[in-house]
Every structure is written in C-alpha cells, then in structure tokens.
Amino acid sequence: MGMLSNNVPRPIVGGYVITSSHSKPNENRKWPSASWHDSVPISADGNFELNSVPRSELIQIVAICDGWLSKTMQPSDGRAVVGQAFESNDEEVKIAVEMEQTGTLELTILKPDGNSLETGTITTLQNREDASGSLSMLGRRFYSMSVIKNQMLPVDQEAIPYDQPFARQFIRNGVVVVRGIAIGKLAACEFGNAQFRFSPESPQVDRSGRLRVVLESAVVKKISVTTVLRD
C-alpha cells in the first residue's frame, strides 16, 4: 500500500505510479533476480496498491498526477527524475511518497516575419532513471507481466508492454502552455509543424532543433521562440 504526501490537494487527478524493483547488492547472491517494472493508478484520495512487488528488493517509485511529481530523493546527475526507493522485505509494505509541484512553460511561437504561428504542436520530453542506471522517458509505463505473457502468445497477439501517455499541446493564437515539467530537470521541447522548425538562432535551441530548458520553480516561465522555414 502507498499514499501521496498530504501537500497534494485532493482529489488526485490523473494519478499513477511507475515502479521499478531491483535486487539489493548482495555478494552472496550468484544469480540476482531480473528487474521488475509495473504501474498502477492512484485513487482520488491519494492511495495506491501494488500487488506484484518482489520480496527482498528495493522498489523505486515515481508518482505522477496533475500538477505534481514525486521528489527525486536518490542520487542523480540532476538531469533525470529518479524518484524514491523503499525496501520491500515484509509481507505488506507501507509507502509514503513525498511530492512536489511541477512547473509550467508558456511558449510564444513566432514565424520568421515576427507574426504568431497559429498551427503546430509541442511535445515535452524528460528523462527518468531507474536504479539500474537505465533511462526512459518520464511518463512511460512499462509492464513486466506483459513481457512474460507475450512469451506464450503468437506474435500477432502480443501485447504492447508499455504505454506512453505523452501529451502533445496544440499551439493556439501563437501560444502553447506546457504543464507537468519536473522542477530543476532538463526538459526538451519538440516542435511539430510541416512547414517550420525552431530557429537555431533562438536561445536554448540545440542542433537537433529541440528547445532545452530547466525550470527553477513552479512559477510560469515565458519564452518566445522564433522559427525558420524547413529545408
């Protein structure tokens, strides 16, 4: 059983937890168990229940809901969301996840002539790092049970072992508001438009054409980004 910290207003909206379980370091263990991944929803009162947690492991949890994200309590390079780790030695594990607000980015998208761009989408990507050191996209939910079940199914009946609920925000009147960005972590904003791309002359746009930004607080940060015609 687990619950979100009381600083998150109830009812919880759009909440779920992503879990990764890994063997604790043990020099006497010749064959450590494989990693186990799962995700479950968070109820409106902030509680969640994990029914498939390996014993004697460390379970790593990232909790996400509207406007809130679990604090990164584990060591990291500062760029990825890591979440919090708990031991799961007992029959029943009670987990309290510390939460913090996420940030909001307001982008004004301008055409090369300086006028507002009316069409296009913005997708925001951030990294999540699990205890094994592997990276995935924050928000992606991976299910080890689906991987196991797939081994017993014909190829054409295999289930997708993850879902990726990345929200693509649409530009309206030249502005797009991107919510749910982890504070203090690097976020990359991908611009989708058939005619234009982010100008490499715009501040914080890298060679790949992504806008990269780190929000320092939950206060709305406003940025103007210019575009150029696609080649």
| Token code pair at residue 109 | 């998208």
The CATH architecture one would assign to domain 103-120+171-229 is Roll (3.10)
Q: Write out pLDDT tens, residues 25-55.
A: 666 655 555 688 999 999 999 999 988 777 6
Q: What is the pTM assigned to this prediction?
A: 0.89
- List, as own/partner pairs, every contact residues 196-202 make where C-beta atoms lie below 8 angstroms and the sequence separation is at least 24, other chains included: 196/111, 196/112, 196/117, 196/120, 196/227, 196/228, 196/229, 196/230, 197/227, 197/228, 197/230, 198/225, 198/226, 198/227, 198/228, 199/112, 199/225, 199/226, 199/227, 199/228, 200/228, 201/226, 202/226
| pLDDT tens readout for residues 158-185 | 988 988 776 789 999 999 999 999 999 9
The SS3 assignment for 42 reads coil
Q: What is the model's pLDDT at position 24?
A: 63
Q: Quick one: which H or E segment has residue 56?
A: none
Give me the pLDDT at residue 133, please: 78
Question: Would you place residue 11 in the very low, low, confident or very high pLDDT band (cuts 50, 70, 90)?
Answer: very high
- pLDDT at residue 31, rounded to an integer: 54
Please say if the pLDDT value at position 57 is more than 80. no
Amino acid identity, residue 129?
E
Domain ranges of the chain: 2-101, 103-120+171-229
pLDDT tens for 100-154 read 999 999 999 999 999 999 989 999 999 998 877 788 999 999 999 999 899 999 9
The mean pLDDT of the chain is 89
pLDDT at 76: 60
Q: In this predicted structure, what is the pLDDT of residue 108? A: 96
